Amino acid sequence: MNGVKIKILETIFDKYQQWIAGERFHCHRGCSLCCTQNVLITGVEGQYMYNHILLEKREQWFAERLLLERPSINVQLTTNGFARLCLEKNEDYPEGEPDQATGRCPFLEENCCSVYAARPFSCRGFASSSACHLDGFAHLDERLLVINTVTMQLIEHLGQRGYWGNMLDVLLALAPHQANKAVNEHIGAETEITGAIMRTLTAEPIPGFLLQPEDENEVNRYLQSVFSAKIGGKTIEEIFNNK
């Protein structure tokens, strides 16, 4: 995986974190009701997680968790695919996919995330202003939901033509791409890898954003903060535009 992509991903994570720094959430260490197996990621985020695991030499631990028995989770549309359909048809947004009930994320240990530093954006962006265990669901301000969707679109654009889908499937699909003997030894389950690849979709470029007029100012300022960041002498906007 291209090192520039990983640097752009880290920059997007940083810019997002700065953007939400003043927000107040109920989330705290050990609160993990939201840590299910229903997490969606792009291949570039999966590679970021592998880099972290390889650095810490936790390949076997990682493989054991990836290969745990679990229900298949099917995905129908990527975030950019959804936006593309809405923009092409110029219609109201179609219904989202129904929530597929799934068990706890296999990376949870003692109610804490054991891959926290490398967790994907879906995990970074999932938050609530009130206690989920009391209300039964998360509350997130509408404007933050918009910023989250825009961020997912940016990351999918970064990982375009790569895998997109359920985190555990994308990680299994990426296993054969790791030039690492330990990964190949521990995650060599061909049937599981083939099944995971078949369940993933292909990440798409951004077709446009689905914004209400009242969202535009904040989204433009947010995009400007991301696009103007420099990686190796070029802005992210220039890299995205192949300049």
Q: Is 65 in the site for ligand SF4 (CB under 6 A)?
A: no
- Pairing type for strands 163-166 and 234-235 reads unpaired
Q: Is 201 in the site for ligand SF4 (CB under 6 A)?
A: no
Of 56-64, 118-126, 205-213, 227-235, which part binds ligand SF4 (CB under 6 A)?
A: 118-126
Interface pick for ligand SF4 out of 20, 34, 219, 231 (rule CB under 6 A): 34
Of 151 and 239, the one with the shorter C-beta distance to ligand SF4 is: 151
Q: Looking up tokens 């895998």, which residue turns up?
A: 163
Q: Is 20 in the site for ligand SF4 (CB under 6 A)?
A: no
Q: Total binding residues for ligand SF4 by CB under 6 A? A: 20
Cβ atoms 44, 157 nearer than 8 A: no
Q: Is 138 in the site for ligand SF4 (CB under 6 A)?
A: yes
Q: Is 119 in the site for ligand SF4 (CB under 6 A)?
A: yes
Reduced to 3 DSSP states, what percent helix, strand and coil does the chain have, rounded to the nearest 5? 50, 10, 40
Of 149, 138, 172, 152, residue with least CA distance to 68? 172
**Cβ-based neighbour number of residue 73 at 10 Å:** 20
CA angle 59, 60, 64 (to 5 degrees): 115
Q: Is 33 in the site for ligand SF4 (CB under 6 A)?
A: yes
Of 83 and 168, the one with the shorter C-beta distance to ligand SF4 is: 168
144 Cβ contact list (under 8 Å, min separation 6): 20, 23, 127
Interface pick for ligand SF4 out of 8, 44, 105, 183 (rule CB under 6 A): 105
**Cβ-based neighbour number of residue 113 at 10 Å:** 16
Residues 27 and 129: their CA atoms lie apart, in Å, by 8
Of 126 and 222, the one with the shorter C-beta distance to ligand SF4 is: 126
Q: Is 52 in the site for ligand SF4 (CB under 6 A)?
A: no
Q: Is 164 in the site for ligand SF4 (CB under 6 A)?
A: no
Could you tell me the smallest distance in angstroms from the CB atom of residue 129 to ligand SF4? 9
Q: Which residues bind ligand SF4 (CB under 6 A)?
A: 26-27, 31, 33-35, 39, 105, 107-108, 113, 115, 119, 123, 126-128, 131-132, 138
